[in-house]
């Protein structure tokens, strides 16, 4: 599916999520390595995964952007993008990649592509990334992409580091 919402990086195809992604999403959020950095490190139930996908699809419908399904080499490897945040005056960057795809530079490539999209096409002024202190790999991805540490906060009952990045044109 190639449409006006689809984007490409060097190795990745980014497309809006579809109902057909639910089996992969359910499997992804059942992986212990992936959920280890959540406030409650437990896998999502199939119902929670279905609700997550429904929220992502609704965000796309309401705003015209959101978390993309991330495809590498013809295979779905995860999800990532920016969403409107009701808690922060910024777009919220998030991504979740299959642990089998870790260590190949996909996260950095994905975040770089999302930043270009958000700043150049959406006109975003500020983007935040929320990272648990116990997740140094995610912190390194944000730092490589230009994010700076802003502050620590409690989010969903767990200490969380807020990183932010201002639009290159804002300053």
Coil, helix or strand at residue 42 = coil
Angle at 104 between CA 1 and CA 76, to 5 degrees: 25
1 confidence band (pLDDT: 50, 70, 90):
very low
Mean pLDDT of all residues belonging to the chain: 92
Residue 3: predicted pLDDT: 56
Whether residue 17 has pLDDT greater than 80: yes
Whether residue 171 has pLDDT greater than 60: no
Residue 77: predicted pLDDT: 98
Per-residue pLDDT tens digits for 112-161: 999 999 999 999 999 999 999 888 999 999 999 999 999 999 988 888 99
How far, in Å, CA of 157 to CA of 43, rounded? 17
Average pLDDT estimate for 22-44: 87
H helix intervals, 36-162: 46-63, 106-116, 136-144
42 confidence band (pLDDT: 50, 70, 90):
confident
DSSP 8-state secondary structure symbol assigned to residue 22: H
Average pLDDT estimate for 72-90: 94
Whether residue 110 has pLDDT greater than 80: yes
Average pLDDT estimate for 79-108: 94
Whether residue 52 has pLDDT greater than 70: yes
């Amino acid at each position: 599916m190639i449409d006006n919402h689809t984007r490409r990086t060097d190795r990745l195809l980014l497309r809006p999520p579809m109902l057909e992604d639910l089996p992969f999403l359910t499997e992804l959020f059942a992986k212990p390595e992936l959920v280890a950095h959540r406030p409650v490190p437990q896998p999502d139930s199939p119902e929670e995964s279905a609700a997550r996908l429904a929220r992502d699809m609704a965000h796309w419908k309401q705003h015209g952007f959101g978390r993309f399904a991330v495809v590498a080499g013809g295979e779905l490897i995860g999800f990532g993008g920016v969403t409107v945040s009701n808690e922060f005056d910024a777009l919220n960057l998030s991504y979740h990649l299959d642990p089998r795809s870790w260590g190949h530079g996909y996260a950095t490539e994905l975040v770089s592509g999302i930043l270009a999209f958000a700043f150049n096409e959406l006109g975003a002024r500020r983007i935040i990334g929320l990272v648990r202190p116990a997740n140094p790999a995610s912190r390194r991805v944000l730092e490589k992409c230009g994010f700076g540490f802003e502050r620590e906060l409690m989010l969903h009952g767990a200490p969380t580091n807020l990183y932010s990045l201002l639009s290159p044109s804002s300053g």
